[in-house]
A and B are shown apart, each in its own frame.
Chain A
Amino acid sequence: MPPVNSIVCVKPVPDPRRWSELALDPVTKTLRREGIPSVLNPLDKHALEEALRMKERFGGIVTAISMAPVTATDSLREAIAIGADDAVLLSDRSFAGADTLATSYALAAAIKKLGKFDLILCGNQSLDGGTGQVGPEIAEFLGVPHVTYARKIDLLDRGIVRVERALEYGYMLIETRMPLVLSVVKEINVPRHIPLMRISEAMQAEVRVWTSRDLDVDSSRIGLSGSPTQVADLFLPVLKRRGEMLSGAPDTVSKLLVQRLRELAVI
């Protein structure tokens, strides 16, 4: 079995434990996220783990890639601390405001520049946007197959890959070939534990930063202007309910609740 060179797409996302602090600017209708630290998207750690296991088994190079503001450099250093050999950050004002299509287009261009690859691994979706679109869109731009919801990956001889793809009612066993894009779900593995010490040591590691000028891209297809979708409005969800609090001893309050639910004919 020849070495397997993997590219792992990672995304820094605002720490979900702090999401309740996200605030809407009522005037600009944009999201205020200052002071909320970023973490690596959890599923991307499973993608990285899978790439590292293949490298440990077959050899090869693992490259982490992301498109994000330059503050994301630390997230890529974290990927290096976990075990990635190399890291590339696409960061440029001209990339800002990209939707999934413009993001995938730029990432595909960067992957072409990186050269030959066998596998591109992604988390099945990000925690913040949660679209799960970037993996299949990169695959289309690169003209390679893709499999999403991958929960088990077996590399066979001659570049043949068998993938268990999770479904609502079970799974589908797929046979395909490298190069390809795989989007993984959390059942695929348990990511290794990295001591904080190693992460802080890696904060000196070099991350290559590429701008749009480093890539062979059509400038009308990147960033906000290259994004077909536009956010027209942001708002906080309104939850309207009766809000009646029932109190009393357990027996009393149970009777009261059952009575209310009977009045509304829901039981």
Chain B
Amino acid sequence: MAACRGVWVFAEQTHRKLMSVSIEMLGSGRKIADKLNTDLTALLLGHDVRDLADELVAHGADKVYLVESELLTFYHSEAYATIIGELAKKHRPEVFLLGSTSAGRDLAPRVAAKLCTGLTADCVSLDVDERGQLLQVVPAFGGNVMATVLCPRHRPQMATVRPGVMKTPTIVEGRHGEVVEIPVDLKQEDFNIKILDVVTEEPRAAPIDTADVVVAGGWGVGNIDDWRLIEELARSMGAAVGATRPPVDEKWASEDQLIGQSGKTVRPRLYVGVAISGAMQHLVGVQDSKVIVAINKDPNAPIFKATDFGIVADFREVVPPLADEIRKLR
């Protein structure tokens, strides 16, 4: 264990673009590596992705392990886990971070089991204690409780990191790093998993996770007709529309508009929650918003405990004049 050195970040790419969480992890990974006085290494797997290595270095990586093969174009669970498992056994990192994405959440446990080490899921905060141990903060029970998790006797200390939570590091122009190519000779017939097709489906609404302003509606909206008021308010502010679980279940909104523990984390400069009572599993997904506004007719709704500005009213009465007032600013 003493011989384990270095902080690793899985630099996930899709369609030859880095996932935003991969960049975000380079920011926190850099801080952890500096505290541990060690290097930050990014693992880049894909096909024809060499130019992404420069981006990783500019965002803080000291070294990039580059593994290229046509078979690695898309996330191939078996090939990725085999390659990364072998690299980790050889180089023995002390910390290994992966994004909490559909690929990261699939890859991380398979690799953790190969290495017989601990894995913490969906970290919202990472730090290093005075003994050099990774302090991993995760929400449990839908964010009603937070836990600090340690992995004292096993290495690497593995964690998946929730997208949109860590800040994106600024680019350092002219930063130098080493790109190490790992040659592989992969054949499809050596694997039990074969990717037949990758299909892109159009999301129905503007992506909430990158929006500057988010207007979200909850169960209290009541029906699809009144849901249009939420969409009208969002349009007036140029905002994306988000939702809690019930509107998604009722199909007023789609799954990719879900905010919270089981959906997306948003950190807009303004979040407006309409007819949302404020269950913890939703609030954990909005608490990094710069300003939070809530409109709810129940003065005892828990969301009012977590807002900057609250209005106790029936949203059907307040939303139309509010949208008008905002349009006047344009």
Contact = CB atoms under 8 A, between A and B. Distances in A.
Interface stretch (A45-53, A72-80, A84-92, A233-241): A233-241
A70 interface: no
Contacts of B213: 266-267
Q: Range of interface residues on chain B?
A: 35 or more
A129 B77 CA distance: 23
A217 interface: no
A245 B310 contact: yes
Given A130-B262, A140-B110, A245-B304, A254 B150 contact: no
A243 B305 contact: yes
A173 B201 CA distance: 13
A237 B310 CA distance: 20
A232 B148 contact: yes
Contacts of B150: 229-230, 232
A228 B154 contact: yes
Interface string B275-296: 0000110011001001111000
Contact of B148 (A132, A149, A233): A233
B48 interface: no
B194 A174 contact: yes
Nearest to B201: A170
Contacts of A247: 311-312
A96 to B, nearest CB: 17
Nearest to A246: B311
Contacts of A127: 142
Nearest to B264: A168
Main secondary structure of the interface of B (DSSP, over half): mixed
B128 to A, nearest CB: 13
Contacts of B195: 172-174
Contacts of A167: 102, 198
A267 B329 CA distance: 9
A250 B312 CA distance: 10
A189 interface: no
Contact of B284 (A230, A231, A237): A237
Nearest to B322: A254
B205 interface: no
Contacts of A158: none
B225 interface: no
Contacts of B141: 14, 19, 22, 31, 128
Contacts of A233: 147-148
B292 to A, nearest CB: 6
Most buried by A among B14, B109, B279: B109
A98 to B, nearest CB: 12
A133 B146 contact: no
Interface in B297-315: 304-313
Interface string B172-204: 000000000000000000001111111111010
Contact of B197 (A31, A173, A228, A234): A173
Given A228-B118, A243-B304, A260-B309, A162 B318 contact: no
A250 B105 contact: no
A170 B74 CA distance: 13
Nearest to A13: B141
Given A145-B78, A237-B139, A171 B201 contact: yes
Given A139-B110, A264-B291, A251 B321 contact: yes
A166 interface: yes
A257 B308 contact: no
A258 B329 contact: yes
Interface stretch (A99-107, A192-200, A207-215): A99-107
A260 B310 CA distance: 11
A63 to B, nearest CB: 22
Interface string B90-116: 000000000001100110111011101
B94 to A, nearest CB: 13
Interface in B142-169: 142-154
A236 B139 CA distance: 9
B135 A145 contact: no
Given A174-B196, A232-B149, A242-B308, 6 more contacts: A19-B142, A101-B118, A132-B121, A136-B77, A141-B113, A247-B311
Interface of B: 14, 74-75, 77-78, 81, 101-102, 105-106, 108-110, 112-114, 116-122, 135, 139-154, 192-201, 203, 213, 237, 256, 261-262, 269-270, 279-280, 283-284, 287, 290-293, 304-313, 317-318, 320-322, 324-326, 329
20 contacts: A16-B142, A19-B144, A20-B144, A99-B118, A100-B119, A131-B121, A140-B109, A147-B77, A168-B256, A170-B199, A174-B195, A176-B192, A177-B192, A231-B148, A239-B283, A244-B310, A245-B312, A246-B311, A260-B309, A262-B329
